[in-house]
Structure 1
Amino acid sequence: MSRSAVWHPFTQHATEPAPPTIVRTEGAYVETREGKRILDAISSWWVITHGHRHPKIVEAIREATETLDQVIFAGLSHEPAERLASALVDMAPASLDWVFFSDSGSTSVEVALKMALGFHRNSGAPRSRIVVMEHSYHGDTIGTM
C-alpha cells in the first residue's frame, strides 16, 4: 500500500514514515502483518487496565451485542445504561444526580467544559476563562487543546 488515507493523530504526516499495520492484538502486545510483536507500552490509550482482547471483556461485548450494539442517547435510552447510571448516582455524593456517558477522556473533558460554561451562563454569571495545567494533556478535542 502506498501512503495511508488515515489521518493519524499526533503525527507529522509530511516527515514521519508510514506506521506499521497491526493485524493482531493480545494482552500487552500488538503484532504487525510481518509478524513482529511490539509491546504496546501506551496500551493504545484505551486498554491499559486489562490489555487487548481480555477474554471476559470480549465475552461481555459478544453477549451484549446479541441484543444491543449502539444506541444514541439523543432522544433514546436503554436499560443497561439506565441501570449503570442509577448505580453511579447512588454511589455519588448528594446532589450529583446525573451521569453523562462519554466515549473518551477528551470528549468527557470537552463536555465538562461545556457544562460548566453553560451552568454559569444560565445562572446569570457568564464566565469565559478556563484554568488548565501548563504542559499537560487534556485531550485532542478543540476545547481540551
Structure 2
Amino acid sequence: MVTAVKTYSIGEVSKITGLPSSTIRYYDSLNFLPYLEKSPQGIRKFTQRDIDTIRIVECLKKSGLTLKEIQAYTKMIAQGDRSIVQRRELFYTTRQRLLDQMHEMKKTLKMLDFKCEYYDRAIADGTEKYVSTDMQFSKAFPETED
C-alpha cells in the first residue's frame, strides 16, 4: 500500500514557516526548492521536505550566505548523493565562519559591558575623575588580547 504524501498550500507553508507567501514564491523563482511540485494549473504543492528546505535556506541566509551561494547549495541538493561531500563542506565552512563571528561578537560585548559599567560608576560618583583612573580601557583590553 502506497501512503499519500501530505501536501501543503503556500498559505499553510507561510503559517508554518512564518514567512510571507511572496518570500516563498521568490524562493521558488530562485530554484531554492528543487523538489517542489506543481499541479497542471501551476498550484504549488509543498511537502514536508520543501518546508525543511525553506527552513535550511533561512538558516543559511541568517548565517551570511548570499542568494547565489544558497542557489548553489540547492543545485547540489538536486544532484543527490553526488554532492554530499560538497554540501557537508559548505555547512562546516559556514559553521566555522559563524563561530569566528561569535568570537568577535563576544569580544565586542565584553568591551560594551566594560563601558556600561564604566559609565554606571561615573554616574554613581557624579564624575569620571575616579573611574577613569580605576577602569582604564587599555589595561582591561590590551591590544594583544584574543
- Interval containing the TM-score (normalised by the shorter chain): under 0.3
TM-score w.r.t. length of structure 1: 0.26
Larger strand fraction of residues: 1
Using CA pairs below 8 Å that are at least 6 residues apart, which structure has the higher relative contact order? 2
TM-score w.r.t. length of structure 2: 0.26
Greater Rg by CA: 2
Larger helix fraction of residues: 2
